[in-house]
Chains A and B, each alone.
Chain A
Amino acid sequence: MQKKMTILQKTSNPPLPQLHVSRRTFLKDSAATAVAIGAATLPLSCAAVEKPVPVTSKDRVCKGKVIDCHAHLTHRSRATWETDDRKLIEAADKLGIDQLCCSTLTPRRPATADGFRECNRWTADGIRRFPGRVLGYCYVNPGYGREALDEIRRCVGDRGFIGIKLYNEYTCTEPVVFPIVELAIELGVPILQHASHSHYFVEDQPRISDGGHLAELARRYPEAILICAHISGGGDWEWTIKALRHASNVMLDTSGSVTDEGTVDMAAAVVGVDRLVFGCDSSMTAGMGKIRGASLSTQDKEKILGGNMMRLLRRRKS
């Protein structure tokens, strides 16, 4: 309890966010958002790229584009960041992954505004260094209110980022997060929400979101495009999948280091393949292996590996 109080104090330091666009405005837009699926053009950074020639081409399960919906570039406080980023692309080449949706995270959370802005500059640089391969998520701490919203507009509007990455500074159902969701709706971009569900209190992540929180947020904002991060990220994935059954605007990211047999199959059976997006979150062979191992048709695997993410990216409004 003491620890939680301390963290609450820390995370309440940033000024409270100011709602500058009412939810009603966004709700009015929701119908238009819904019909916009597949209608909008891709941002420049999502345009067709020359496919890498994967080492594993003989075993490739997907003829279409393969998009890792959950990847990270390395924070530059790490001396090996440049090599690490290069290794990520090389790993993608080996596994036949065409594009990686990347964020750069601060080494410690909660992130400061300067901290997340610096990370996003590096993500933008990553997009330039690996053209056509790296797509960017704008990482923000919602507690910084106006600064977070400005950063999202800068990254999505000016830098061509494809979405927003939220980590564990706040549970996604806290009101401080709502302006971020509303801006994401306005821009037509997805939010990749860090999430996990364990049957114990996770002391070092007291405000971590889970599938239940995402389902609640999805009910509040049915027009939002939400991605529940790494269903194989260590928590009880059966719980997560069941919690999200009725949250039709929440996609499930298959990433994470856990390779439990049946995960992808159960997710497909409960929420449908159209709501699954392939990801690795740096567990590259685990990520690809799970999809290969799932008892699904090639067409379904193609949707998961890239088709569904392409559909999300087309919802972008500018």
Chain B
Amino acid sequence: MIVDVNAYLGHFAFRRLRHNTASSLLALMDSKKIDKAVVSSVGAITYRNTQAGNEELAEEVRGHSDRLIPFAVINPFYTGWQDDLKICHEEFGMKGLRLYPKWHNYQLSNPCCRELVNDATERGMVISIPIRVEDNRQRSWLLNIPDITLKEIVELVKAHPKARFILLNGIGYTRCPLGRKDNDLPANYVIGLSRLSAVLANELGQLITNLGTERVMFGTGMPFNYPDPALVKIEVLDASEADKEKIFSQNAMTWLKL
């Protein structure tokens, strides 16, 4: 069983994506033997009103709830986000959120964001945070969106010990408290492996040693990314089959109550 906690559907404003509809993503998943994927709206990254993206996503995944697990994109600085969160959770059955503080121009430490995290946590929703959407060196001339710093994430996980965070598309965790053993941080976050090295510096192996196998999840970033690099990481990882199974699916199944 393979569960991908880092997948997307929809159009990106700056690059054509393939495999970005439910049917084409499922076909890609079939070809890679990926059983389930957590998906959110790509369009909502650049829409002013992210709820339009959530509605598109809900429509797109209809009939595929056995394999596509929709997450909502909420901007806590946009009016009506509380209504959007309620609809996404109660009507669309979305089990979690994706936050884009840099793209939506707010601070993770802002009270509005803190309120959103608290509300989502009360609903039992998981909060995933892509550290980046794409490599900033290839950015359009229209914008310059930096990566979220891991220092901001440290403060967030400390401030919300009861929340559950999935950190995506990041690296360098072992150079900050998030990836260190005995870091005095709540164990309320897991790390997606899409950009982690599995050879040479082997940050993936270091994180498993420091935090435990339970704190790493499989995620590809498709259709932004080829899914294969993430699959290769697990193949070359020096870990037992049981531990690989945890990373591939069990950890996500537990967190998402699948």
| Chain A residues, CB < 8 A from B197 | 283-285
| B199 and A289 within 8 A (CB) | no
- How far, in Å, is A100 (CB) from chain B's closest CB? 12
Question: Is A95 part of the binding interface, using a Cβ–Cβ cutoff of 8 Å?
Answer: yes
Which of B222, B223, B229 is in CB contact (< 8 Å) with A290? B229
Among B16, B197, B226, B231, which residue has the most Cβ atoms of chain A within 10 A? B226
A261-B226 contact, Cβ under 8 Å, with A90-B199, A235-B138, A285-B197: yes
Question: Is A260 part of the binding interface, using a Cβ–Cβ cutoff of 8 Å?
Answer: yes
What is the predominant secondary structure among interface residues of chain B facing chain A? loop
| Chain A residues, CB < 8 A from B134 | 258, 260
| B223 and A261 within 8 A (CB) | yes
- Chain B 1-45 against A: per-residue CB contact (8 Å), 1 yes, 0 no? 000000000000001111100000000000000000000000000
A42 CA to B16 CA, complexed, in Å: 41
| B138 and A284 within 8 A (CB) | no
| A285 and B137 within 8 A (CB) | no
| Chain A residues, CB < 8 A from B17 | 261-262
Question: Is A3 part of the binding interface, using a Cβ–Cβ cutoff of 8 Å?
Answer: no
| Chain A residues, CB < 8 A from B230 | 289
| Chain A residues, CB < 8 A from B139 | 198-200
Question: Is A18 part of the binding interface, using a Cβ–Cβ cutoff of 8 Å?
Answer: no
- How far, in Å, is A45 (CB) from chain B's closest CB? 23
Size range of the interface on A?
Answer: 35 or more
Complex interface: stretch among B52-60, B69-77, B178-186, B232-240: B232-240
Closest-by-CB residue of B relative to A283 is B197
A263 CA to B197 CA, complexed, in Å: 20
Question: Is B198 part of the binding interface, using a Cβ–Cβ cutoff of 8 Å?
Answer: yes
A283 CA to B232 CA, complexed, in Å: 12
A283 CA to B144 CA, complexed, in Å: 24
| Chain B residues, CB < 8 A from A261 | 17-19, 222-226
Closest-by-CB residue of A relative to B139 is A199
Which of A88, A260, A289 is in CB contact (< 8 Å) with B231? A289
Size range of the interface on B?
Answer: 20 to 34
A142 CA to B134 CA, complexed, in Å: 34
| B226 and A234 within 8 A (CB) | no
| A262 and B18 within 8 A (CB) | yes
Question: Total A-B pairs in contact (CB under 8 Å)?
Answer: 100
| Chain A residues, CB < 8 A from B229 | 259, 285-286, 288-290, 293
- How far, in Å, is A131 (CB) from chain B's closest CB? 21
- Chain A 180-220 against B: per-residue CB contact (8 Å), 1 yes, 0 no? 00000000000000001011100000000000000000000
Closest-by-CB residue of B relative to A202 is B137
A94 CA to B205 CA, complexed, in Å: 15
Question: Is A55 part of the binding interface, using a Cβ–Cβ cutoff of 8 Å?
Answer: yes
| A293 and B226 within 8 A (CB) | yes
Question: Is B91 part of the binding interface, using a Cβ–Cβ cutoff of 8 Å?
Answer: no
| B236 and A234 within 8 A (CB) | no
A259 CA to B200 CA, complexed, in Å: 18
| A196 and B137 within 8 A (CB) | yes
| B199 and A235 within 8 A (CB) | no
A260 CA to B139 CA, complexed, in Å: 13
Question: Is B109 part of the binding interface, using a Cβ–Cβ cutoff of 8 Å?
Answer: no
A234-B137 contact, Cβ under 8 Å, with A88-B200, A262-B18: yes
- Chain A 275-289 against B: per-residue CB contact (8 Å), 1 yes, 0 no? 000000011111011
A315 CA to B59 CA, complexed, in Å: 56
Closest 5 CB pairs of A and B: A289-B229, A293-B226, A234-B137, A293-B228, A91-B199
Q: Show 10 A/B contacts (Cβ-Cβ < 8 Å), sorted by A.
A: A55-B235, A55-B236, A91-B199, A234-B135, A237-B138, A262-B16, A262-B17, A284-B200, A288-B229, A292-B231
B interface residues with partner A (beta carbon < 8 Å): 15-19, 134-135, 137-141, 144, 194-195, 197-200, 221-233, 235-236
